[in-house]
Amino acid sequence: MAIIYILWLRQIKRFFRSKARIIGSIGQPLLFLVALGFGMGPIFEKAGEGNYIYFLSPGIIVMTILFSSIFTGVDIIWDRQFGFLKETLVAPVSRFKIVLGRILGGATTSLLQGVIVLIITIPVGFRFDIAMLPLALLFMFLIAIFFTTLGTTIGSMLKDMQAFHLIMNFLVMPIFFLSGALFPIEHSVGVLEIITKLNPLAYGVDGVRGSLTSNFYFSAGTDLIVLFIASILILLLSSYIFSKIEA
Amino acid sequence: MIIEVKNLSKKFKSFTAVDDVSFSVEKKDIFAFLGPNGAGKTTTIKILTTLLKPSSGEIILDGCDPVKNGNKARYSFGIVFQDSSLDEELSAYENMELHAVLYRIPKKIRKERIEQLLKIVELWDRRREAVKKFSGGMKRRLEIARGLLHHPQILFLDEPTLGLDPQTRNHIWSYIKELNEKEDVTVFFTTHYLAEAEKYSSKIAIIDKGKIISQGSSRELMERTQTDSLEDAFIKITGEDIRKEDYSAVDRMRQRRKVFKH
């Protein structure tokens, strides 16, 4: 436990010491929230879909968690370049504990950023049921775990940051756009519908939005089960890949 | 024998970094692993410390095979790397503490030893500063202090004293010597300061172009080559020509960047 804890703590310390990162992580969602919320809001309402801020806010919270989780996961590349990775790789500690400590730490910091954005949505006009907050936080945490692990898995396979843009454009952005974060997914058809249903983030968005606005597309149970199983699977994959790492 | 290496080879695509190397180290030895740049020293250490998988050959490290049973082997050794492996965002003290936890040093000993070692490398007064603010020499000193924190069976030191002034080198070596004598720690080190190898090592192996070309105590090597310093013996054994990787700071950086890119 001490080992997982100290590696968790390391991620937390690194997060709080990087002021630019905190500001950046909150600036972008805020921009999205204001620009999209007030720009697209009237159209959304005219189409008879209701209050767009209510729809969008959970999506932006999830977006924050998605991006920060991927970033903190892929951070492992920097650890490799600065050499710190070696320090953990030669330690007499199971690689699973190392990777778990990292992931829990990274996921905690992205959950924190999600919570900050959640608070920011209130002055913008978002209202939610406080009693449902714990369930929403659980969903946010599961999203953070899944995507931090995904980032870590990708980061363990890459040797430098050059392939990172490729991953952002061809993996992370599609995951984001086809998750229902910005627009409803119930109108998607054909291939898009299949992709959406295979996208773990769609269940994350639904979970957070459903619990905050009591408007589920799937259901709380389905969302929980899918996210939980997906997280377990990616954790297994990640610890396998991490155990094969050479430096 | 605490380290036994038989017919070890490591190939990177067409390049053979380590070529059919065999040697052994006895418990409590201070074993110097010498060679020009690019000879295969660091690759050998990386294989011994489970960071790389060998292409072929056998290794026994404290009775256990690091290739098959990496996790168990990692209990028996400690290592100071040639290049940085610190977390630059953390303070000096935090880096030490993290290492202590990873190596399960009991809390009581932890504090004492961190203080003692940081004082030896003269970083105690700056223990709360982030490592990224440190100069190259300070980082090096911290790295060594951290490597000495837990007292392993075998201590690997890959050019530990590179770029340090004679005073610090002296302090560090007397600490290593003490570890060796009091706690029977076996030391396996590489260095380009041949005087260091001559003074402290009990046994030497010289590697060049991936092959071990000479082994023995420093006196034996000098007798064999009829020279009166290890430096001369080394040059006589490995030849006069300068290796591709020249030894300037800029080249070292380039070399490191190359390593990053792979």
Q: How many interchain CB pairs under 8 A, A with B?
A: 78
**Chunked mean pLDDT (size 10), chain B, 262 residues:** 94 91 95 92 94 94 90 89 92 97 93 94 94 91 91 92 87 90 94 92 94 92 91 89 56 48 42
Token code pair at residue A239: 């610890």
Choose the closest CB to A3 out of B71, B89, B102: B102
Give the other-Cβ count within 10 Å of B199's Cβ.
13
Residue B188 counted as domain residue: yes
Residue B125 counted as domain residue: yes
Q: How confident is the model at residue A54 (pLDDT cuts 50, 70, 90)?
A: very high
Residues of chain A contacting residue B152, judged by C-beta atoms under 8 Å apart: none
| Chain A: residue whose CA lies nearest to B72 | A92
Choose the closest CB to B85 out of A3, A86, A246: A86
B94 with B141, same domain: the answer is yes
**Inter-chain touch A84–B85, beta carbons under 8 Å:** yes
Q: Which of residues 78-97 of A touch B (CB under 8 A)?
A: 79, 81-94
The least confident of A25-39, A124-138, B85-99, B122-136 is A25-39
The least confident of A118-122, A141-145, A236-240, B167-171 is B167-171
B111 with B205, same domain: the answer is no
User: How many domains would you assign to chain B?
Assistant: 2
Residue B12 counted as domain residue: yes
Mean pLDDT of all residues belonging to chain A: 92
Residues of chain B contacting residue A86, judged by C-beta atoms under 8 Å apart: 51, 81, 85
**Inter-chain touch B52–A2, beta carbons under 8 Å:** no
Token code pair at residue A133: 């907050």
Choose the closest CB to B81 out of A6, A86, A246: A86
Q: Where are the domains of chain A?
A: 2-243
Residue B135 counted as domain residue: yes
> What does the pLDDT average to over A15-30?
87
Residue B177 counted as domain residue: yes
B163 with B234, same domain: the answer is yes
Residue B137 counted as domain residue: yes
What's this model's pTM, rounded to 2 decimal places? Answer: 0.88
Q: How confident is the model at residue A138 (pLDDT cuts 50, 70, 90)?
A: very high
Q: How confident is the model at residue A21 (pLDDT cuts 50, 70, 90)?
A: confident
**Contact predicate B144/B174, CB 8 Å:** no
Choose the closest CB to A17 out of B71, B89, B101: B89
Residue B81 counted as domain residue: no
Q: Return the biggest CA–CA distance within chain B.
A: 52
DSSP-assigned letters across all residues of A63-126: HHHHHHHHHHHHTHHHHHHHSHHHHHHTSSS-HHHHHHHHHHHHHHHHHHHHHHHHHHHHHHT-
Residues of chain B contacting residue A88, judged by C-beta atoms under 8 Å apart: 102
CATH code for the domain in which residue B247 is found = 3.40.50.300
A247 CB within 8 Å of a chain B CB: yes
Q: How confident is the model at residue A118 (pLDDT cuts 50, 70, 90)?
A: very high
> What does the pLDDT average to over A153-164?
87
**Inter-chain touch B89–A87, beta carbons under 8 Å:** no
B64 with B114, same domain: the answer is no
B172 with B255, same domain: the answer is yes
Domain end (from B150, B166, B198): B150
If one compares B54 and A25, the residue with the highest pLDDT of the two is B54
**What is the rounded distance in angstroms from the CA atom of residue A156 to the CA atom of residue A242?**
6
What pLDDT score does B244 carry?
60
B137 with B156, same domain: the answer is no
What pLDDT score does B45 carry?
95
A17 CB within 8 Å of a chain B CB: yes
What pLDDT score does A135 carry?
97
Choose the closest CB to A13 out of B46, B90, B262: B90
B90 CB within 8 Å of a chain A CB: yes
With CA atoms as reference, report the closest residue to B204 among B36, B31, B45, B44: B31
What pLDDT score does B247 carry?
44
Residue pointed to by tokens 């999203």: A143
- Maximum mean pLDDT: which of A43-47, A224-228, B132-136: A224-228
**What is the rounded distance in angstroms from the CA atom of residue B126 to the CA atom of residue B135?**
12
B103 with B61, same domain: the answer is no
| Residue B11: its H or E element | strand B3-12
- The domain of B131 spans 86-150
**What is the rounded distance in angstroms from the CA atom of residue B152 to the CA atom of residue B145?**
14
> What does the pLDDT average to over A15-19?
89
